[in-house]
Structure formats: C-alpha cells, structure tokens
Structure 1
Amino acid sequence: MKDYKAYLFDFDYTLADSSQGIVKCYRNVLNRHGFTSVSDDDIKRTIGKTLEESFSIFTDNHDPEFLARLKKEYVAEADRIMTDNTVLFPETVNVLSALKKSNAKIGIISTKYRYRIKECLDRNLDENIVDIIIGGEDVEHPKPSPEGLKFAIKQLDLEKSSVLYIGDSTVDAETALHAAVDFAGVLNGVTTSDELAAYPHVAVMNDLNGLL
C-alpha cells in the first residue's frame, strides 16, 4: 500500500465499536412501538445506514413522518446512553497517532452525528490528531453519496489521488467509488471480506494495523 497524504475514516465499526449502544437505542425505540422481532444481528447489519433507512427496513414502513418520529426518539436515546456504550478499537489510538506522526491528515466521514463522534474522541484521543470530522448533520445527502468525502478533501486542500478512505461496509466502499478515491476495507464489523472485495480496493484488512 502506498503512502497517502490523508487517511479518511468511517467511524462505527471502523475506528470504534458502538454496536452495543446502537443496539440498545434501536431496541428501546422499536420495543416502544411493538417491533419486537428485530434481532441484534438485523440491527448490526444496518450500521452505516441512515436512521431513516434502518427504521424503514425494521418496520417495513416508508412514511417520512413516522420515520422522522422514530429518528427523534433514537437521538434522544443516543444522547442518554451512546457515548458510554462506545469504545475505540484497541489499535485505533496507536494507528491514528502513527499516521499523524508521518505528517498525514486524518479525517472522519460518518452518518453518525459529528457531536457524538467528538464526544467519544474527546475521551480517548489527543484533540490535535483528527483534522476534520464530517457527520450526518453536515451533509444534505448521506453516504454512499460522496458529498461528505468530497467536502473533506476540498477542506483539506488535497488531490483525490492522495487520499485513502477506510471503512467496514459496502456503503463505505460505494462512497469511495462515487468519490473516485482509493478504498481500504477493514473487517471490524459484520461485512465479510468477500463483500468488501467485490468493490475496487487497495486492501481488505483484518484491523487498522494493516495501514502501518
């Protein structure tokens, strides 16, 4: 793998495991509305999608007002319990620190809210390591739209050829493809190596140490 001037990351299942918090938040909302048959694995398979997309899948309801109401309830649950139920992967701090020491730019592009990502990072990471965070509230079109990724590249004043996007899901792989940047998959989540390898990639790694 070549050296890049910037390493831009997805957050959930890429830098951190927030699956326990995500499952709890969805479960509390879904149970409240009588959707008790959705499994933990069903929930984990939607990590990386927007809240509206996920609730539509779980409930088979596509009404925007209904989905917006469930989203509001989820955000309230997440404000209460998400950060305490999110942990960085063991290698995350060391890998990001090493990349930063090599003078690379570090960024995060996620469907998760920026303030929630920052809450987690502030507990675990030097504030000078991450150069830019693009969250779900910062874009009009969520991933796999390349909007957030392209915006980060523009803000960092970089060429696409000097950027690597790292993520755990096919949504991330599609995002990199639409943005015309290199992609590296990481197997921290529920997406398989074969699923990631079906997209253009420079690597599919067991964990983030593969970047070093």
Structure 2
Amino acid sequence: MKNYDAYIFDFDYTLADATEPVVGSFLYALEKMNLQKSSRQDIINTIGIPIGESYTILTGDDSEEGIELFKKYQKEKSDEITVPNTVFIGDAKEVLQILKNRGKKIGIVSSRWGQRINDIFENLNSRELIDFIIGTEHVENYKPNPEGLFKMIDM
C-alpha cells in the first residue's frame, strides 16, 4: 500500500450524508415558488450538482430569474436545517482521525459551499480533522472541472 502525505476527499456521500436537509430545502424552495414538488429520489439524484443545474434538472426551467429565486429560497431553508442535520457516513470520522494521527494532510473539494462544510465539521466537533476546504465560493468552474483539485494541490 502506498503512503501518501495528503488525502483529498469529496464531501457529499463520501464523508457526510446531508440527504435530509437537501431534500427538505429543495422541497421548501419548490413550494415557495408554487412549483410542483419533485420526488425525494429525483432530488437525491441531483446531490453533488450545483444548485442552479439541479433546479433546471428538476423543473426544466433554465431562466436566470428562476434559478436565482430557487437558490434564494433553498439557501433560506438550508441555512436553518443543514448544519444540525448532516451526519458522518459510516466510519468516515474514524478514517479521518486515523489519517490525522499519522500526520497526513486532509482536504475536501466539493460542489457544496465551503463555509457550510466548515460549519458542519464544527457542529460535529471534528473541524481539526480537515486542513483545507475548497468549495463553490473558491472556484469559477465546478466539478468535474479540475480547478478545485488544482487549487488544493497548490495549497
């Protein structure tokens, strides 16, 4: 097995599960916009995709006005429910702790807002496990574009 100095992880469904707050905030935004509710599974299928693209996938609307309104309402609810309702997946915390105990650097590159990831780790009393976070506010081009990974490598 190779011995690396640093490990880079995705966030959603790799380290953490934010399914309930994502579904809840999307349903809230759709309801506020008087749009037909999407199914839970359809919303789950958009996790990891930038919110504007998710909105278009779910509604068929690609208007800037619709996207911005959806983002506003989704964030409104997400600000309330995401941090306290996101949990680690399986043994993710233990794996991160083992890597830190071995002196490894740990980074996260995500299509999620980086400050929200920071807040989630704070809430889980685990912020010390992560050295660097690259979120949507740190890049112009979202994954799968490698910009976030290149920024992480340069840190």
TM-score, normalising length from structure 1? 0.69
Change (3 A) 1:59 1:94: same
Matches within 5 A, 1:1-212: 1-155=1-155
Deviation at 1:126, TM superposition (A): 3.8
Deviation at 1:37, TM superposition (A): 4.3
Change (3 A) 1:25 1:66: same
Once structures 1 and 2 are overlaid, which stretch shifts more, 26-35 or 49-58? 26-35
Q: What residue in structure 2 maps to residue 189 of structure 1? A: none
- 3-state SS of 2:133 partner: strand
**Given residue 35 of structure 1, which amino acid in structure 2 is its aligned partner?**
L
Q: Are the aligned partners of 2:83 and 2:123 in contact in 1 as well (CA < 8 Å)? A: no
Deviation at 1:138, TM superposition (A): 1.0
CA offsets 1:31-73 (integer angstroms, 9 cap, x no match)? 2223334111101111100000000001101112221121121
TM-score, normalising length from structure 2? 0.93
Moved over 3 A (4+): none
> Alignment RMSD, CA only?
1.4
Q: Are the aligned partners of 1:93 and 1:125 in contact in 2 as well (CA < 8 Å)? A: no
- Percent identity of paired positions between Structure 1 and Structure 2: 38
CA offsets 1:79-119 (integer angstroms, 9 cap, x no match)? 11111221112312110010112222100111111111111
- 3-state SS of 1:7 partner: strand
- 3-state SS of 1:71 partner: helix
- 3-state SS of 2:70 partner: helix
Change (3 A) 1:145 1:107: same
- 3-state SS of 1:12 partner: coil
* Distance in structure 2 (CA, Å) of the matches to 1:67 and 1:153: 32
Structure 1 residues without counterparts, runs of 5 or longer: 156-212
